[in-house]
């Protein structure tokens, strides 16, 4: 209503003058990389990266996806020793009730966090980042937030398909809350890990298990049906995922293995979020999943859940988690850690 003036010719308030246009035609254009003072130089460089040129391997089978996953895991695993050293952490591989996990422990743990435990479910479109490669985000959180973190190395295609990842998360959660008590536990993850965090909450409700004290939901794959406006508005702008029809979409279909993509245990936006624990959500303005993050935030609010949303300027999908030397990573993980500190029992 505040712009209902332009020369008195047009009324853009209310419905007067409404012209429905199913498709909005946009001309070709060039987009400068954002350079405002409030983006660190390190993050500016990440934002200015050309679009991921290999964003579209359209895997059809778990075996195909796994070849890529194993190849890509090498680089991630190579980063881990230095990360653990810089962040003063130890990491061990274990199993909990038959599920593989990595346990990341700060060498010095603040008194208030000694009884607390974070459970991490990694991202990677349900097919990527196997084994140690899935622990990077858990390591960053343990190091920045000073928590003990158990990262679930859930089964992925072709070892197993939906709902194996979710089942493994629930198994580990059951084991963790026996040790720590649910209210001293937070669950977190990004992308597929954000979706798995939400899916785990839906499953806990169905199983009448206690909710954790808080959850951290990073740019979740909350809707696998390509619904969400930023799948379109940020197409080609998000330099990580690039397209709704790219590798992540293909990977999700591999994981779903013929199951309905609209099942709330694959697209949790369609689940009932009443009774969820306090949640903190993180995304960026260029994120292909911006819409699915804000839609999830709204759905949580409408269900009466306390939910914080942080949207970082200029960032594409999950770029806040790039590494401990990026100021925005320390900031985002610091904010998530502070949210957990506020909501978890000691």
Q: Please, what sign has the CA dihedral across residues 321, 117, 216, 267?
A: positive
Region of 104-112, 154-162, 168-176, 319-327 interacting with its own copies (CB under 8 A): 319-327
Residue with tokens 């649910």: 182
Residue 160: Cβ-neighbour burial (10 angstroms; 0-12, 13-18, 19+): middle
171 binds its own copies (CB under 8 A): no
Region of 88-96, 205-213, 255-263, 284-292 interacting with its own copies (CB under 8 A): 284-292
Binding mask 209-248 for its own copies (x = CB under 8 A): ------------------xxxx-xxxxxx-xxx-----xx
What is the spatial distance between Cα 124 and Cα 201, in angstroms, rounded to a whole number?
A: 20
43 binds its own copies (CB under 8 A): no
Q: Name residues contacting its own copies, limited to 88-127 (CB under 8 A).
A: 122-125
For the CA atoms of 273, 238, 187, 168, what is the dihedral angle to 10 degrees? Answer: 90
Q: Which residue, 97 or 229, has its beta carbon nearer to its own copies?
A: 229
309 binds its own copies (CB under 8 A): yes
Cis peptide before 158 (omega within 30 of 0): yes
154 binds its own copies (CB under 8 A): no
Minimum Å distance from CB 210 to its own copies? 27
Q: Which residue, 31 or 111, has its beta carbon nearer to its own copies?
A: 31
Among 28, 41, 85, 92, contact with its own copies (rule: CB under 8 A): 28
12 binds its own copies (CB under 8 A): yes
Minimum Å distance from CB 44 to its own copies? 9
CA distances for 51 relative to 101, 174, 288, 333, 342, angstroms: 33, 40, 12, 25, 37
Q: Which residue, 85 or 108, has its beta carbon nearer to its own copies?
A: 85
26 binds its own copies (CB under 8 A): yes
Report the b/e string of 92-123 with b at 16+ CB within 10 A. eeeebeebbbbbbebeeeeeebebbbbbbbbb
Contact 311, 290 (CB under 8 A): yes
Q: Which residue, 10 or 207, has its beta carbon nearer to its own copies?
A: 10
For the CA atoms of 156, 180, 213, 170, what is the dihedral angle to 10 degrees? Answer: 20
Q: Which residues are paired to 340 by β-bridges?
A: none
How many residues sit close enough to its own copies to count as binding (CB under 8 A)? 110
Minimum Å distance from CB 49 to its own copies? 6
Minimum Å distance from CB 116 to its own copies? 23
40 binds its own copies (CB under 8 A): no
345 binds its own copies (CB under 8 A): no
11 binds its own copies (CB under 8 A): yes
What is the spatial distance between Cα 28 and Cα 236, in angstroms, rounded to a whole number?
A: 12
10 binds its own copies (CB under 8 A): yes
Q: Which residue, 16 or 111, has its beta carbon nearer to its own copies?
A: 16
Among 254, 318, 336, 337, contact with its own copies (rule: CB under 8 A): 318
Binding mask 45-64 for its own copies (x = CB under 8 A): xx-xxxxxxxx-x-------
Q: Which residues are paired to 104 by β-bridges?
A: 91, 149
Cis peptide before 234 (omega within 30 of 0): no
Contact 215, 186 (CB under 8 A): yes
Among 71, 92, 107, 111, contact with its own copies (rule: CB under 8 A): 71
Neighbours of 297 (CB within 10 A): 22
């Amino acid at each position: 209503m505040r712009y209902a003036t332009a020369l008195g010719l047009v009324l853009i308030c209310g419905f007067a003058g409404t012209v429905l246009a199913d498709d909005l035609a946009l001309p070709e254009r060039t987009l400068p990389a954002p350079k405002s003072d409030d983006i660190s130089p390190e993050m500016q460089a990440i934002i200015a990266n050309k679009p991921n040129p290999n964003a579209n391997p359209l895997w059809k089978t778990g075996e195909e996806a796994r070849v890529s996953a194993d190849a890509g895991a090498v680089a991630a695993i190579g980063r881990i020793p230095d990360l653990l050293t810089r962040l003063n952490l130890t990491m061990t591989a274990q199993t909990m009730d038959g599920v593989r996990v990595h346990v990341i422990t700060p060498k010095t743990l603040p008194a208030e966090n000694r009884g607390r435990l974070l459970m991490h479910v990694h991202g990677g479109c349900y097919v990527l980042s196997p084994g140690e490669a899935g622990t990077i985000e858990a390591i960053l959180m343990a190091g920045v937030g000073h928590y003990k973190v158990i990262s679930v190395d859930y089964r992925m295609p072709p070892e197993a398909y939906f709902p194996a990842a979710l089942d493994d998360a629930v198994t580990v959660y059951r084991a963790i809350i026996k040790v720590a008590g649910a209210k001293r536990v937070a669950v977190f993850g990004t992308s597929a890990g954000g979706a798995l965090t939400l899916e785990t909450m839906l499953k806990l409700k169905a199983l009448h298990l206690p909710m954790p004290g808080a959850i951290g939901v990073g740019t979740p794959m909350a809707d696998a049906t390509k619904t969400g406006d930023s799948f379109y508005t940020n197409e080609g702008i998000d330099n990580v995922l690039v397209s709704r029809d790219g590798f992540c979409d293909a990977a999700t279909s591999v994981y779903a293995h013929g199951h309905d993509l609209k099942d709330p245990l694959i697209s949790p936006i369609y689940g009932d979020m009443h009774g969820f624990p306090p949640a903190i959500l993180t995304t960026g303005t260029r994120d292909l999943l911006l819409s699915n993050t804000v839609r999830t935030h709204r759905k949580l609010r409408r269900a009466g859940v306390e939910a914080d949303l942080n949207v970082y300027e200029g960032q594409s999908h999950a770029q806040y988690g790039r590494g401990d030397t990026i100021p925005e990573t320390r900031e985002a993980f610091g904010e998530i850690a502070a949210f957990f500190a506020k909501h978890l029992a000691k």
